[in-house]
Chains A and B, each alone.
Chain A
Amino acid sequence: MAIESTNTEQPTIRVVLAKLGLDGHDRGIKVVARILRDAGMEVVYLGLRQTTASIVAAAEEEDADAIGLSMHNAGHLALAPSMLAALHDADLDIPLIIGGIIPEADIPILEGSGVAAILGPGAPAEEVVTAVRGAVAART
């Protein structure tokens, strides 16, 4: 038998998590970071006050499989499209997942504009993990 080198591991999912804009509510996103870590993912946590440009740069450098943004200030109808546009301009085909306070009526609008998944407040851990895995699988 020859000595060989093969990659036997399952690829680890890498997720960039950030708060886009000024909204400082980070309880939810921190819980989500731990949920994803506990599901075996690597979470690159960018923290508060990020811009679309800083998120794009991180997604490129970290080779993110998914981007998760948390929104609690009702700015999602402006912020989510601006994030999607920035990803498009950078030619990045990475699923965008939005979590936070999103009224039901806005969900089809966001999904229609290209958001891969939307997680409401108090979404159970399983739902969070499934949403991320599903969004990543859909793009590969």
Chain B
Amino acid sequence: MDDKKHAWQEQYDATHLRDVPFETMSGVPVDPVFGDAPLPGQYPFTRGLHAAGYRSRLWTMRMFAGFGTAEDTNARFKEILRNGGMGLSTAFDMPTLMGYDSDSPWALGEVGRAGVAVDTLRDMEDLYADIDLGKVSTSMTINGPAAALLAMYIAVGEQGGVAKSDLAGTIQNDILKEYQAQKEYIYPPRPSMRIVTDMIRYTSAEMPKWHPVSISGYHIREAGSTAAQELAFTLANGFAYVEAALAEGQDVDQFGRRLSFFFNAHSDFFEEIGKFRAARRIWARWMKERYGATDERAMMCRFHTQTAGVSLTAQQPENNIARVAIQALSAALGGTQSLHTDSFDEALALPTEKAARIALRTQQVVAHETGVTNVADPLGGAPYVEWMTDEMELQAEAVFAHLDELGNGSILEGVYAGIDNGYFVGEIADAAYRFAREINNDQRIIVGLNEFTDGNDEDETNLLRIDHSVEELQRKRLEAVKQERNSAAVEASLAAIRNAAEDPTVNLMPPIIDAVKTYATEEEISNAMRNVFGTYVEQAIV
């Protein structure tokens, strides 16, 4: 025990601390940590990844934005940076997320609506115009066509004189949860997995500051899962990526450091905190014991958190500010590395600028006014919190055992099988229906929805309206790019992608980077792979 305490002290002393007083509002100094070992920064990291917790560095306040054309979103990005946001997070529109261009028949009514439209490198140039990509860290929420978007980001960096080795950020690229929850897939699971492992290999070698996969429970939860299912399915997907990369002969200590996670912060305060703590413990133990990691950095479960969009009500939307504040607090107490707070009007539309600012202010209040950042894992050791952490772990382990059996000793094969036989979607749909029924029977109170409804008939707040002209405008921009580019070069680059797709020993990233530089469109690049890989249709599990 003393050794551990001593080791912790050394780590703490070596940490550069923020220049603020670590004391209560009343001026009483507080210790950086309480309780017994293992302490924060020590395996299995239940109590946090860093000895000093948030004393060295607050979480990154990363606000998700994206709508309309690239210029519209670029302006919002600059606004976020001016307001003290520290990282950019890009939301793409549905056609972009699904590998279709703005002029596709599938794009009708969707261009620029739920995010920004990106068809070619030209849009990406405008999206990050006048932002120094060597200074910010960027997160891109895209999965099916992730390789094309990362390629465009690399190309934009190069144009601005930033080498790809200096680009910092995350691309979501978590294709497994698409089949389970979010449903933004293009190809069948196995070829999709090959794209992911190609990207892991490429970034491990060329982009040391880049996180090639953000293994995401967020969408699993939004689709209706329980907290334990979110935890279990997400970590199982993580194990699946690890097994896929190991099968390719990649080094677990190398790529393991680049994996990151993305969780949901919902309203059951202690359950969420237990979930976050259990995630770190489980990941560390599996990486070490099952996958043979020796570098502690490859055992650390780093995660981004977003408050639960699904918890927001369209009724009395201002109440959502309170929900978001409580959820943000659970993420902070759970030790998140970065946080997006939802805007109160998101149950109705994309956030207005004012609502997005209030959301950012909410987490700033948590960070700077509540004092929870003074102590690492302040709830550690509390019997209820420790029990909840153990309980989350227990439930998750039962799921891993099921998948391990399904896959005959391989979690990767178990996850494929669970996608194929509808296990994941079935479990999630059952949980969603149970929750809906509890609300419907008034067994569960949601303020403003089934109780305390006075005020529901008040006038709606101002909503962000995306002008329908965006669609027309974006199509014209795409048309112009197609006119200007060298079509022979485009065709040749697409043929190279097809050839690479047919040969599993070739990494897909280099030909895709070549293709985006010819201004080949995202849909053209996706089609080149659709031709080889086919497309995925899910079975109906309702």
Contact B542 A45 (CB under 8 A): yes
Q: List residues of chain A with CB within 8 A of the CB of B436.
A: 31, 35, 125
- Contact pattern, B 424-458, Cβ under 8 Å of A = 1, otherwise 0: 00001100110011011000001001100000000
Contact of B113 among A51, A73, A120, A122 (CB under 8 A): A73
- Contact pattern, B 158-187, Cβ under 8 Å of A = 1, otherwise 0: 000000000000000000000000111000
Contact A21 B94 (CB under 8 A): yes
Q: B68-121: which residues lie under 8 A (CB-CB) from chain A?
A: 94-95, 97-98, 100, 105-110, 113-114
- Contact pattern, A 96-136, Cβ under 8 Å of B = 1, otherwise 0: 00000101110000000000000011101110000000000
Contact B223 A78 (CB under 8 A): no
Contact A34 B314 (CB under 8 A): no
Contact B440 A124 (CB under 8 A): yes
- Contact pattern, A 16-54, Cβ under 8 Å of B = 1, otherwise 0: 000001111011001101110000000101011101000
The reply on B136 being an interface residue by CB < 8 A is: no
The total of chain A residues at the interface (CB under 8 A) is 35
Contact B429 A74 (CB under 8 A): no
Q: How far is the CA of A43 from the CA of B471 in the complex (A)?
A: 34
Specify the main secondary structure of chain A where it touches its partner.
mixed
Contact A27 B314 (CB under 8 A): no
Contact of B542 among A21, A24, A34 (CB under 8 A): A34
Question: Nearest chain-B residue to A82 (Cβ)?
Answer: B108
Instruction: Given A21-B94, A22-B98, A104-B460, answer yes or no on A79-B108 (Cβ-Cβ < 8 Å).
Output: yes
Question: Nearest chain-A residue to B431 (Cβ)?
Answer: A27
Question: Nearest chain-B residue to A75 (Cβ)?
Answer: B109
The reply on B222 being an interface residue by CB < 8 A is: yes
Contact A27 B350 (CB under 8 A): no
Contact A74 B114 (CB under 8 A): yes
Contact B314 A120 (CB under 8 A): yes
A14 to chain B, nearest CB (A): 15
Q: List residues of chain A with CB within 8 A of the CB of B237.
A: none
Contact B108 A21 (CB under 8 A): yes
The reply on A77 being an interface residue by CB < 8 A is: yes
Instruction: Given A21-B109, A27-B224, A45-B542, answer yes or no on A122-B449 (Cβ-Cβ < 8 Å).
Output: yes
Q: List residues of chain B with CB within 8 A of the CB of A101.
A: 314, 347-349
Contact of B433 among A21, A30, A104, A122 (CB under 8 A): A30
Q: How far is the CA of A25 from the CA of B279 in the complex (A)?
A: 26
Instruction: Given A78-B108, A120-B314, answer yes or no on A26-B223 (Cβ-Cβ < 8 Å).
Output: yes
Q: How far is the CA of A49 from the CA of B94 in the complex (A)?
A: 11
Instruction: Given A78-B108, A124-B450, A125-B440, answer yes or no on A27-B223 (Cβ-Cβ < 8 Å).
Output: yes
Contact A73 B94 (CB under 8 A): yes
Instruction: Given A22-B94, A48-B183, A74-B114, answer yes or no on A121-B432 (Cβ-Cβ < 8 Å).
Output: no
Q: How far is the CA of A79 from the CA of B432 in the complex (A)?
A: 26
Instruction: Given A27-B222, A30-B429, A124-B440, answer yes or no on A74-B349 (Cβ-Cβ < 8 Å).
Output: yes
Q: List residues of chain B with CB within 8 A of the CB of A51.
A: 105
Q: How far is the CA of A49 from the CA of B114 in the complex (A)?
A: 16
The reply on B310 being an interface residue by CB < 8 A is: yes
Contact B538 A78 (CB under 8 A): no
Q: List residues of chain A with CB within 8 A of the CB of B97.
A: 22
The residues of A with any CB-CB pair to B shorter than 8 Å are 21-24, 26-27, 30-31, 33-35, 43, 45, 47-49, 51, 73-79, 82, 101, 103-105, 120-122, 124-126
26 residue pairs from A and B, CB less than 8 Å apart: A21-B110, A23-B110, A23-B114, A27-B224, A27-B428, A27-B432, A30-B224, A30-B432, A33-B542, A34-B433, A34-B542, A48-B538, A49-B106, A73-B94, A73-B113, A74-B466, A77-B109, A77-B468, A78-B109, A78-B471, A101-B314, A103-B463, A120-B314, A121-B314, A122-B313, A122-B314
> Besides A27-B432, A31-B432, A73-B114, 13 other CB < 8 A contacts?
A22-B94, A30-B432, A30-B433, A33-B542, A45-B540, A45-B542, A73-B113, A74-B113, A77-B468, A79-B108, A82-B108, A103-B349, A122-B315
The residues of B with any CB-CB pair to A shorter than 8 Å are 94-95, 97-98, 100, 105-110, 113-114, 182-184, 222-224, 310, 313-315, 347-350, 428-429, 432-433, 436-437, 439-440, 446, 449-450, 460, 463, 466, 468, 471, 538, 540, 542
10 nearest interchain CB pairs? A78-B109, A75-B109, A24-B183, A22-B94, A74-B113, A104-B460, A27-B224, A73-B114, A31-B436, A79-B109
